C-alpha cells in the first residue's frame, strides 16, 4: 500500500514537472516569436556621429522588442551587400539599416533598389530607394552635443550663429521607419532639419533641452 502511494506521488510529481517544463517552453517560444530583428551595417571605424546614431537605434530597439544584428564593415561590394541582405531576409529580419554606406560600399555609383533597406547617408541619397539624411544647412554645422566653448563664442558675439545636427533623432526615426515598414509595408525618405543656434535662441532657453542632449 505504501509502495502504491509512493508510485502515485512520483507520477503526480512527474506530471507537474512536465506541465511546468512545457509551459516554460511555450513562454520562451512566444517571447522569441514576438521579437523582431533589424540588421544594422556600420562603418568599421567608430566615431561620435555613428555612436549617437547607434545609441538611438539601441534605445528604440530596447523599447520595442527588436533584436539588432549589427555588422561592422571596412569594405562591401554590391554583391556582398546583396548576400548580406538575402541572409538577413532568410532570418526574417524586418529591415536593413545602412549607416553611412559611403564609408564602406565600393560601388557607390550603382543604384541599390531594395524596398526593405534604409540608408542613413550624407552623399548617397540617390543611390537608394529610401534614405535618411539631414537637410542642407549653411556652415558652420556641428553634431550634438555642442561644446561649451562653441556656445560661449555665440554668447560673446564672436560667432554669429551655428547649425546643429541631431544625430540621435536621425537614428531614432530611421529604425522607427523600418519598424513601421514591417507592419504596413510603407517607407518614405527621412529628412531631418538642422537647428539654427544664435545668441537670441540661447538666451530664450528654447534650445536648452537640445543643447544639453
Query: What pLDDT is stored for residue 141 in this prediction?
Result: 86
CATH number at residue 91: 3.40.50.2300
Percent of the chain residues topping a pLDDT of 90: 57
70 forms bridges with which residues in the sheet?
Answer: 40
Query: What pLDDT is stored for residue 6 in this prediction?
Result: 56
Q: Grid coordinates standing for 114?
A: 531594395
In a domain, 177, yes or no: yes
DSSP one-letter string for 30-94: HHHHH-EEEEEEEESS--HHHHHHHHHHHHHHHHTTEEEEEEEES-B-HHHHHHHHHHHHHTT-S
Structural domain harbouring 154 = 2-25+35-211
How do beta strands 195-198 and 161-165 pair?
antiparallel
In a domain, 162, yes or no: yes
Query: What pLDDT is stored for residue 140 in this prediction?
Result: 82
In 3-state terms, what secondary structure has residue 5? helix
In a domain, 89, yes or no: yes
In a domain, 176, yes or no: yes
The dihedral sign for the CA sequence 91, 93, 99, 103: positive
Q: Grid coordinates standing for 140?
A: 558652420
Query: How far is CA 103 from each of CA 16, 50, 106, rounded to the nearest angstrom?
Result: 57, 11, 9
Could you tell me which residues come within 8 angstroms of residue 190 by beta carbon, excluding any fewer than 6 positions away?
Answer: 118, 131, 132, 133, 170, 173, 174, 177
Q: How many domains does the chain have?
A: 1
Residues in the chain with pLDDT < 50?
Answer: 1, 25-33
In 3-state terms, what secondary structure has residue 128? strand
Query: What pLDDT is stored for residue 201 in this prediction?
Result: 86
Does this model's pTM top 0.85?
no
Q: Is 19 exposed, middle or buried (0-12, 13-18, 19+ CB in 10 A)?
A: exposed
Query: What pLDDT is stored for residue 63 in this prediction?
Result: 95
In a domain, 104, yes or no: yes
In a domain, 105, yes or no: yes
Query: What pLDDT is stored for residue 119 in this prediction?
Result: 97
Query: What pLDDT is stored for residue 68 in this prediction?
Result: 96
In a domain, 30, yes or no: no
Q: What is the pLDDT of residues 136-193, one digit of tens each?
A: 887 788 888 888 888 889 989 999 999 999 999 999 999 999 999 988 888 999 999 9
In a domain, 75, yes or no: yes
Cis preceding-peptide flag for 145 (omega within 30 of 0): yes
Amino acid at each position: 500500500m505504501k509502495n502504491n502511494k509512493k508510485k502515485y506521488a512520483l507520477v503526480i510529481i512527474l506530471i507537474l514537472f512536465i506541465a511546468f517544463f512545457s509551459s516554460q517552453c511555450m513562454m520562451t517560444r512566444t517571447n522569441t516569436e514576438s521579437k523582431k530583428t533589424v540588421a544594422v551595417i556600420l562603418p568599421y571605424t567608430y566615431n561620435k556621429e555613428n555612436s549617437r546614431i547607434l545609441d538611438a537605434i539601441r534605445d528604440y530597439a530596447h523599447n520595442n522588442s527588436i533584436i539588432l544584428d549589427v555588422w561592422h564593415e571596412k569594405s562591401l561590394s554590391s554583391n556582398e551587400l546583396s548576400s548580406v541582405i538575402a541572409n538577413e531576409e532568410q532570418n526574417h529580419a524586418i529591415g536593413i539599416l545602412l549607416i553611412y554606406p559611403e564609408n564602406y560600399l565600393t560601388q557607390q555609383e550603382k543604384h541599390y533598389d531594395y524596398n526593405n533597406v534604409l540608408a542613413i547617408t550624407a552623399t548617397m541619397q540617390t543611390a537608394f530607394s529610401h534614405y535618411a539624411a539631414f537637410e542642407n544647412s549653411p556652415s558652420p554645422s556641428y553634431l550634438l552635443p555642442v561644446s561649451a566653448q562653441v556656445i560661449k563664442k555665440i554668447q560673446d558675439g564672436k560667432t554669429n550663429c551655428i547649425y546643429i545636427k541631431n544625430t540621435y533623432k536621425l537614428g531614432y526615426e530611421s529604425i522607427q521607419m523600418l519598424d513601421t515598414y514591417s507592419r504596413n509595408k510603407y517607407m518614405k525618405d527621412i529628412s531631418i532639419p538642422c537647428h539654427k543656434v544664435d545668441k537670441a535662441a540661447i538666451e530664450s532657453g528654447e534650445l536648452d533641452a537640445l543643447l544639453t542632449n
